[in-house]
Amino acid sequence: MSAPLKAKKVYNADEDTSSDEDEPSVDMVSSDDAWVFPIGGSVMLVGLYVLFKYLNKNYLNYLFTAYFGVIGIFAVSNVSTVKGWD
């Protein structure tokens, strides 16, 4: 038997919080999500173990270079399109 999940209150900074009528929205993790997170993490770790164990070092270097190159290009393109930088 596990302890019940506690609700996490989320306040939106754009809304006026002085009104008594507005209630903050509540985000909760469902029990299905709580089961999926450790399984997904385990699959990811086993996948990384297999990559490092059985792939050649040169292939891993190419893979990581391509991955970080694409992520870097995506990040720079998002920073350059930020509103208010005119």
Instruction: Decide: helix, strand or coil at residue 17.
Output: coil
Identify the burial level of 40 via C-beta atoms within 10 angstroms of its C-beta, where 0-12 means exposed, 13-18 middle and 19 or more buried.
exposed
* pLDDT computed for residue 32 by the predictor: 85
Q: What is the pLDDT of residue 27?
A: 79
**pLDDT tens column, 41-84:** 999 999 999 989 999 999 999 999 999 999 999 999 888 777 66
Q: Which of 3-12, 22-31, 73-82 has the lowest mean pLDDT?
A: 3-12
So what's the pLDDT on residue 80?
76
- pLDDT category at 39 given cuts 50, 70, 90 is very high
